Amino acid sequence: MGNVKIRYYVTRKCGRGYWVPTPSMKRTGFSLVCCGRDGPEAWAIAEAWNEKWDRVRRGEAVQDIRIYPVGSLGEAYDRYRRTKTWGEKKPRTREDWERGWKNIEPVFGDVAPTTVTLELVDSWYAYLLDKVGVREAHRSMKIWRALWRVAGALGYCDRDKDPSLGIRRKTPRARAAVWLEGEAVRLVKRAWRMGYRGLAAVCAVAWDTSLSPVDVRGLTSAQRAKDGRGPLFFVDRAKTGKAAIGTVSKRTERVLNAYIQSLGVELHDDAPIFRNRSGAPYSKDTLGDDFRAVRAIEFPGDSRKLMDFRRSGAVEAAAGEVNPAALAGKMANTIDQNKELQGTYLPHNTTLVRLADDARAIGRRRLRGTDQGQKLKLGRPKS
């Protein structure tokens, strides 16, 4: 790399660049920043930190960064978020951390971890239980404990002396809501008739594949394929990164093809398939909003969610006496309670996933008490 002159930026023998604040800068809360391998990207990071320092020096408010005191939990968290380990976390995992940090930061962000006592953590946790509920309090405590271990690894505290270990977390009640196949069909039909064609296709695909909403939202044309029994999607799950195979029925394939035809444009192989009525790819918020709008019409007063499709598929398969290994393959998780052995002796493939599909069909008939399937009929898409 050519020589560049950037304030407080230095390179080490390892070929990486660092933004190195002076002692006076450190007293205001700044700390060493690893900018990555020396090059334009590292230089840009260093310049960004120079801009932040200049704004602080001029007395301006820095809205996109919080300057935490040296030795504080907030400083430890900032350092962790600049590591390669953090950058390699799945987006959903980072989102979980940030969500927990929002409840941790107002109380503990400015303090040194070694000053935190069991009484303080107990009071904070009791407050969260009262204000945000068991589920969010449980999440925040989980992130607190993970962050404490990180802070310990960074030298801010003893990782084995987490005061929160004296508190027994309340476990949130697991969701148990399920949909029946006929109800899913009704949602698809209603969404289509209301003009939410992208949502109709999402619902149809989510029902067949048992993928989570976030995994379905990210599906692209390049991930579509076929085997001897029909169409499918190859997926890396957003939450775990584990490979998954999402199989779809002929009926859902018709819905999907009709929806894509209704777009009137040719989708790029790597472009998200499912879009809202504005033509933009579905986001977490827009998908949730559209689903609630359709659910309110078809099932007034119902509170079940799109994410419950995934559980519903597992219930169907269990009713059909599915082989645990097949269900683990279908769900792409550890539902069979033996992830390591299944990963070693039962490779993930379409044959296993199809076994789970067969069991779902059997279970579906048992759940509704009839062998007569419900047909999905769509009108010709408007050009």
Say yes or no: 268 and 305 in one domain.
yes
Is 50 exceeded by the pLDDT of residue 342?
no
- Examine residue 13 and state whether it is found in any structural domain, yes or no: yes
- Domain residues for 95? 68-173
- Examine residue 381 and state whether it is found in any structural domain, yes or no: no
Say yes or no: 106 and 18 in one domain.
no
12, two tokens: 């080490």
Say yes or no: 281 and 341 in one domain.
yes
Task: Tell me the mean pLDDT in the region 142-156.
Answer: 95
Say yes or no: 336 and 208 in one domain.
yes
Q: Which residues contact 167 (CB under 8 A, 6 or more apart)?
A: 118, 121, 122, 125, 141
Q: Please give the pLDDT value at position 336.
A: 44
Task: Tell me the mean pLDDT in the region 341-369.
Answer: 61
Say yes or no: 250 and 218 in one domain.
yes
**What's the predicted TM-score (pTM) here?**
0.57
Q: Please give the pLDDT value at position 383.
A: 41
220, two tokens: 């692209």
Yes or no: say if 363 and 316 are a contact pair by the CB < 8 Å rule.
Answer: yes
Share of the chain above pLDDT 90, in %: 38
327, two tokens: 């269900």
Number of domains the chain is built from: 3
Cα-Cα-Cα-Cα dihedral sign, residues 20, 22, 25, 27: positive
Yes or no: say if 237 and 330 are a contact pair by the CB < 8 Å rule.
Answer: no
134/78 Cα distance (integer angstroms) = 27
What does the pLDDT look like over 176-227, one tens digit per residue? 788 989 999 999 999 999 999 999 999 999 998 888 898 899 899 888 888 7
Considering 118, 146, 173, which residue would you say is the last residue of a domain? 173
84, two tokens: 């390669």
267: left (phi over 0), alpha (psi -120 to 50) or beta: beta
221, two tokens: 């044309």
Q: Please give the pLDDT value at position 265.
A: 84
Considering 173, 204, 234, which residue would you say is the last residue of a domain? 173
In the sheet where 16-19 sits, what is the strand order? 9-11, 16-19, 33-37
What does the pLDDT look like over 280-317, one tens digit per residue? 999 888 999 999 999 999 999 999 999 988 888 877 77
Residues facing 232 on adjacent strands: 225, 247
What does the pLDDT look like over 24-41, one tens digit per residue? 887 776 777 777 778 887
Cα-Cα-Cα-Cα dihedral sign, residues 345, 347, 350, 352: positive
74/173 Cα distance (integer angstroms) = 31
- Examine residue 373 and state whether it is found in any structural domain, yes or no: no
What does the pLDDT look like over 107-139, one tens digit per residue? 999 899 999 999 999 999 999 999 999 989 999
- Examine residue 379 and state whether it is found in any structural domain, yes or no: no
Say yes or no: 252 and 361 in one domain.
yes
Task: For residue 350, name the pLDDT band (cuts at 50, 70, 90).
Answer: low
What does the pLDDT look like over 272-282, one tens digit per residue? 999 999 989 99
Is 60 exceeded by the pLDDT of residue 63?
no
- Examine residue 376 and state whether it is found in any structural domain, yes or no: no
Say yes or no: 98 and 220 in one domain.
no
